[in-house]
Structure 1
Amino acid sequence: MKQFDFIVVGSGSAGSVVADRLSANGRHSVLVLEAGGSDRRFFVQMPLGYGKTFFDPSVNWNYRAEPDPGLAGNADHWPRGKVLGGSSSINAMVWVRGHPSDFDDWREAGNPGWGYSDVLPIFRAMEDNDAGEDEWRGRGGPVHVTELTRFVHPLCNLYLKAAQEAGLPLNPDFNGPDQEGVGVYQITTRGGRRMSAARAFLRPAMKRPNLHVVTGALATRILFEGRRAIGVEYMRNGQTVQALAGREVIVSAGSVNAPQLLQLSGIGPAALLQEHGIEVHHANDHVGANLQDHQGINYTWRAKNATLNQLLRPWWGKLMVGARYLLTRDGPLSMSMNQGGGFFRTDPSLARPNMQLYFQAFSTVLPRPGERPILSPDAWPGFSIGLSNCRPTSRGSITIRSADPCEHPRIVANAFSTDHDVDEMLAAVKFLRRIAASPAMASAIDGEVLPGPDVQNDEALIEDFRKRSGTVYHPVSTCRMGPDPASSVVSPRLKVHGVDGLRVIDASVFPSVVAGNTNAAAIMTGWKGADMVLEDHR
């Protein structure tokens, strides 16, 4: 058995940052265990290549949630990154931090140091934003953020105009002084290539002799000596291996794998662990509980003029955009499918936006079986406007099915299980039609395709969004942070309650989900969490 100062389980959005920062001073030896393989794959590096990774088991855990009554009984597909960089290597790259008040909510829930004024300096230090540096943005950091306003499809500009006609302000920066409004999304790319957490943090750090990264290493349990975590057992190439941590074990495995590993290691609901023959090291019913996730849906229209469908569907179009990307690293393949977006309130009396918008200059009503829809757009010109809820009140759970670490855990989303979530989604989909009916957008529309003009009354709209909604891949809070061990899994310093030498540093510790895409907040959590570790081991 080899011994390291720190063992980091997972090389995803937070784990890559933790590994980089813990190894930077050269004084600490760090082992990173990653169940997946290398991120040096063409469709990982090419931004729109995430369509190819959506079902690819070589880079994707391909989880499936339980059939959900709130989603009309559908069993939702949950892609999560199984590769260096984790889900930051297969996501849509949208760079949204969350509403400032989201982080103030964290602090007010008893987590000092996690308010917006505390985390804003970290966000700025992380960024290399080509929109420029100001009070909110940063320059010179490891994460390059690309501003795409001048590159978007002309239809995106019509969407922005239409949304303004529907009453939303134009917003040049959702990470600036105000989140509300519509605009063009900033994305994490550089030079036409994906800027994953692995590219930004882990790859540079791997040049250091004190950082050791092992791929194909599935962590099976945390090793304990009494109440203290002393190492990790993992499987690699059919062999069981153990590694010791002289200082701490840090779980950065994400919102699905982090609670799974804790439960496999004897930290979790006592009845669940006993059911599967696992010795209880510390009973905590909140491990795997409090699951929060954004649910989204698209409305689709037929356009009067050509959209990206006519470029990305035919073989000659694929050849043309592919050649352009290879030669110049720009064009549609260098961007996300969500070019425009925004945030709005379904009720003007709300203090902050509660819905997020997504604009796509193509449509995918009939994808080919087993293929991510963006790879097979419709034969006719079409586009979609999507939305997702920002702060759902529905709660789910993630629990092990057995003591076998290779068996995927049970994911229960409980989507739309509260009246609050149903009511605000109903109001939100009605607003999508307001945008479509505005003069700018109506001039480009040849008819609504999904859900279609026959779906009009509240009952029909609710039935439709239950059938067609699904995760937008932002699960959080399954190892929730909080000061009270009776209602949380980790402390405000991310130490696991009830044991020593063990922390969780990833999106699973979020006390509540943020408004918007969660990747930026997950990276920030890795940065801040690593700083806390270093403060405790000077």
Structure 2
Amino acid sequence: MQTYDFIVVGSGSAGSVVAERLSASGRHSVLVLEAGGTDRRFYVQMPLGYGKTFFDPAVNWNYKAEPDPGLAGNADHWPRGKLLGGSSSINAMVWIRGAREDYDGWAAQGNPGWSYGDVLPAFKAIEDNQAGADEWRGAGGPVHVTRCENAVHPLSKLYLAAAQQAGLPLNPDFNGASQEGVGIYQINTRNGRRMSAARAFLRPAMKRANVRVETRALATRILFEGRRAVGVEYERNGRIEQARAGREVILSAGSINTPQLLQLSGVGPGALLQELDIPVLHANPNVGANLQDHIGINYTFKGRTATLNQILRPWWGKALVGAQYLLLRSGPLSLSMNNAGGFFRTDPALSRPNMQLYFQAFSTVLPRGGERPILSPDPWPGFSIGLSNCRPSSRGEIMIRSNDPRDYPKITANALSTNSDVEEMLDAVKFVRRIASMPAMADTIVEEILPGPSITSDADLIQDFRKRSGTVYHPVSTCRMGPDAARAVVDTRLRVHGLEALRVIDASVFPENITGNTNAPTIMVGWKGAEMILEDQG
């Protein structure tokens, strides 16, 4: 058994940051355990290649949620990264921090140090924004943020014009003074390659003598002496191994695997653990509870002018954009599928946006087995306007099925399970149609393909979005932060309530979900969490 100062379980959006920050001084030794393998794969590094990783078991856990009544009984596909960089290596790269009110809300719930004013310096330190530094933006940080205004498909500009005609302001920077409005998304890439957490943080850390990264290492349980975490047991190459932590064990395995590992280690709902013959070390019903996620849907249209479909579908088009990417690191393959988007309120009385928009200059109505058909879209000119809810009131849970760490946990999303979530989604899809009906877009639309012009009544619209909606891959809060041990899993410094030398630093600690994509906030939590560890260790 080897001993390290810190053991970090998971090399994803937060874990990569934690490992880099804890090892930077050279004073502390760090072991990182990653269940997956390398991120040095072509379709991982090429931004639009994530269509190929969407179902790939070599880099993806490929979780499946339980059949969900709120989604018309569908069992939703939940991709999560199983490689260095975690889900930051297979996501859509949209760089969104969330709204000021989100973090002020975290602080108002009794979590000092997590207000917007507290987290803004971390965001700025993390970023190397192509536009340069300003009051809101950072420059020179590890994560390069690319502006895409000059690279997106021309249809994106028509979408922006139509959204403005529908009443939304143009917003040049969703991470600036205000989040509301429509604009072109910024993405975390550099020189046409994905800027994952592994590339930005872990790869530099791996060059240090005080960092060891074990891949294909599945953590099976946390080792305790009394109530103190002292190490981790893991399986690698068919063998059970153990490593000891002299200072702390940090769980950064994400909103699914972190509660799973805690439960396997005897920390979680007492009755469930007893039922599965797991000795209860610390009963806490909040472990795996309070699951929150964003639910999204696309409205798809057939256009009059060429979209990316006409480039990405034919062999000659694939050859053209492939050559453009390989030679110049530019073109459609260097971007996210979400060229543009925005944030709006379904009710003007709301204090901040509650819905997010996405514009995609291609369509994927026709199914294609084995991959998300981003690189093989429909044969007609098509495009989509998508949306997702930002702060749904529905809550689910993630609970282990057995005491075998190889068994996937039970994911019960309970999507669209509250009347308020259904009502705001209904208002939102009507607004998508309003955008499409504006003169700037209406002239380029032949017909609405999905859901189609026959779907008009409220009942039919609700039935449609129940059938076609699904996760947009932002699960959070399954080990939520809070000062009250009876309602939370970790305290405001991310230490697990009731235990010693054990922290959770990943998206599972979010007290509530944020307004937008969760990757940038998770990286921020990694940065802040590492700062707290170093402060507490002295």
TM-score, normalized by length of structure 1? 1.00
Distance 2:529 2:338 in 1: 30
Distance 2:147 2:371 in 1: 29
Aligned AA (2:353): P
Distance 1:52 1:473 in 2: 16
Aligned AA (2:389): N
Alignment check: 8 A CA contact 1:269 1:283 kept: yes
Three-state SS of the structure 2 residue aligned to 1:73 is coil
| Residue deviations 1:1-20 (CA, integer Å, cap 9, x gap) | 00000000000000000000
Distance 1:131 1:342 in 2: 19
**284-293 or 128-137: which moved more?**
128-137
Alpha-carbon distance, 1:370 to partner: 2.6
Distance 1:254 1:408 in 2: 14
Alignment check: 8 A CA contact 2:53 2:371 kept: no
The aligned residue for residue 222 of structure 1 is: 222
Alpha-carbon distance, 1:348 to partner: 1.0
The aligned residue for residue 491 of structure 2 is: 491
The aligned residue for residue 65 of structure 2 is: 65
Distance 2:117 2:9 in 1: 29
The aligned residue for residue 328 of structure 1 is: 328
Three-state SS of the structure 1 residue aligned to 2:484 is coil
The aligned residue for residue 250 of structure 1 is: 250
Aligned AA (1:219): A
The aligned residue for residue 271 of structure 2 is: 271
Three-state SS of the structure 2 residue aligned to 1:425 is helix
The aligned residue for residue 141 of structure 1 is: 141
| Residue deviations 1:131-162 (CA, integer Å, cap 9, x gap) | 22110000000000000001110000000000
Summarize the alignment of residues 293-304 of structure 1 with structure 2, pairs less than 5 Å apart.
293-304=293-304
Distance 1:368 1:273 in 2: 40
Distance 1:30 1:251 in 2: 13
The aligned residue for residue 120 of structure 2 is: 120
Three-state SS of the structure 1 residue aligned to 2:367 is coil
Aligned AA (1:121): P
**371-380 or 22-31: which moved more?**
371-380
TM-score, normalized by length of structure 2? 1.00
Alpha-carbon distance, 1:373 to partner: 2.4
Three-state SS of the structure 2 residue aligned to 1:261 is helix
The aligned residue for residue 95 of structure 1 is: 95
RMSD: 0.5
Distance 1:131 1:184 in 2: 13
Alpha-carbon distance, 1:62 to partner: 0.3
The aligned residue for residue 31 of structure 1 is: 31
Gap regions ≥5 residues in structure 2: none
| Residue deviations 1:29-79 (CA, integer Å, cap 9, x gap) | 100000000100000000000000000011100000000000000000000
| Residue deviations 1:333-368 (CA, integer Å, cap 9, x gap) | 000000000000001111110000000000111121
Alpha-carbon distance, 1:242 to partner: 0.3
The aligned residue for residue 341 of structure 2 is: 341
Q: Is 1:202 aligned to 2:199, yes or no?
A: no
Three-state SS of the structure 2 residue aligned to 1:316 is helix
Summarize the alignment of residues 74-113 of structure 1 with structure 2, pairs less than 5 Å apart.
74-113=74-113
Aligned AA (1:211): V
Alpha-carbon distance, 1:376 to partner: 2.1
Aligned AA (2:16): S
Alignment check: 8 A CA contact 2:81 2:90 kept: yes
Alignment check: 8 A CA contact 2:88 2:519 kept: yes
The aligned residue for residue 9 of structure 1 is: 9
Three-state SS of the structure 2 residue aligned to 1:151 is coil
Q: Is 1:448 aligned to 2:448, yes or no?
A: yes
Aligned AA (1:33): L
Aligned AA (2:394): S
Gap regions ≥5 residues in structure 1: none
Alignment check: 8 A CA contact 1:367 1:376 kept: no
Three-state SS of the structure 1 residue aligned to 2:150 is helix
Aligned AA (1:203): R
Three-state SS of the structure 2 residue aligned to 1:144 is strand
Alpha-carbon distance, 1:184 to partner: 0.2
The aligned residue for residue 480 of structure 2 is: 480
Aligned AA (1:48): L
Distance 1:502 1:291 in 2: 21
| Residue deviations 1:233-260 (CA, integer Å, cap 9, x gap) | 0000000000000000000000000000
Distance 1:375 1:147 in 2: 23
| Residue deviations 1:89-143 (CA, integer Å, cap 9, x gap) | 0000000000010000000000000000000010001000002211000000000
Alignment check: 8 A CA contact 2:268 2:286 kept: yes
Three-state SS of the structure 1 residue aligned to 2:231 is strand
Aligned AA (2:138): G
The aligned residue for residue 436 of structure 2 is: 436
The aligned residue for residue 22 of structure 1 is: 22
Aligned AA (1:431): F
Distance 2:29 2:164 in 1: 53
| Residue deviations 1:209-266 (CA, integer Å, cap 9, x gap) | 0000000000000000001000000000000000000000000000000000000000
The aligned residue for residue 178 of structure 1 is: 178
**245-254 or 360-369: which moved more?**
360-369
Summarize the alignment of residues 400-419 of structure 1 with structure 2, pairs less than 5 Å apart.
400-419=400-419
Aligned AA (1:537): Q
The aligned residue for residue 311 of structure 2 is: 311
